[in-house]
Amino acid sequence: MEILQGLLYVNNVDVYVQYGVFLAEKDRGGHENYDALLKPSKTKEQVSINVREQDGEQLPAALNVKFEARDVTLYFGIEAANRAQFLTRRTNFIQFLRTGNGGWLNFNVPELNKKFRFYLKDFPEWEQTQFDNSFSFGRFKVMFREPDPTF
């Protein structure tokens, strides 16, 4: 489907063109992927002094707000014309994520005008919805870590 081309690049590779992989939602009309990508990181705890003889805690006059690393879980779909193509695409895409560019996965999501620098953390879920010689499709989650969050 041409509509899926150019929506997600990983290390400058259009993953739909190369692997038949795209960001898929769990439910029709969902937006879990963009929600996950756009969710801001948690802020780091402020260093404070807790004096027993005083109420509350003491903080500096100017706070230095910094952010935690974050985990981002995305749903991917992979489609193929038949079982053999599906298995090849699946294997190649997983290997692509495992190796990255020195382990790094640089995501470019043109529709959001955002870029992210991740590394692979986990494959928490796999769902095979169709697996035959006329068409094969699977959906799976992948968890990434963004050690230096963009926002």
Examine the pLDDT at 98 and tell me if it is beyond 90: yes
3-state helix, strand, coil in the chain (%, to 5): 25, 40, 40
Q: What is the pLDDT of residues 34-63, one digit of tens each?
A: 999 999 999 999 888 888 898 999 888 899
Tell me what pLDDT residue 50 has. 87
CA distance 136 to 116: 30
| DSSP β-ladder status, 13-14 and 136-146 | unpaired
User: What whole-number percentage of the chain has pLDDT above 70?
Assistant: 99
Any alpha helices (H) in the chain, and if so which ranges? Answer: 15-19, 32-38, 83-99
Q: Count the alpha carbons within 13 Å of 73 in the hemisphere toward its beta carbon.
A: 10
Tell which residue, 42, 38, 69, has the closest CA to residue 144: 69
